[in-house]
Amino acid sequence: MVQAEATAPGPLTIPIVPIALRYHPGAYRGADIFIHISPPLYTRQYQQGNERQTAQALTKALQIALISGLEETQRLAF
């Protein structure tokens, strides 16, 4: 994302939408599915000194959002 936005010929904003899925009791046919959709993340929110640092900050934010979403789906599942 960071590179795509940086090399685009014009302004480009691509949202990254964290979506957490939990299958209960497991990923089997007929399982219940719990979905948590978090607010979108944008690279400009995590802009750092260079593209690598921006990518690392964005990846960390995505990881936190997904873990939080999985925790929320676990709460809903039980």
CA distance 34 to 60: 23
Nearest C-alpha neighbor of 51 from the set 4, 2, 16: 2
Tokens 């090399």 belong to residue: 7
pTM: predicted TM-score of the whole model, two decimal places: 0.82
The predicted pLDDT at position 22 comes to: 92
Amino acid at site 50: N
pLDDT of residue 75: 87
Domain that includes residue 44, residue range: 2-77
- In this prediction, residue 69 carries a pLDDT of 96
pLDDT at 76: 80
Residue of 19 and 9 predicted with greater confidence? 19
What total of structural domains would you count in the chain?
1
Work out the mean pLDDT of the chain and round it to a whole number.
89
How distant, in Å, are the alpha carbons of 19, 26, 50 from that of 73? Answer: 11, 13, 35
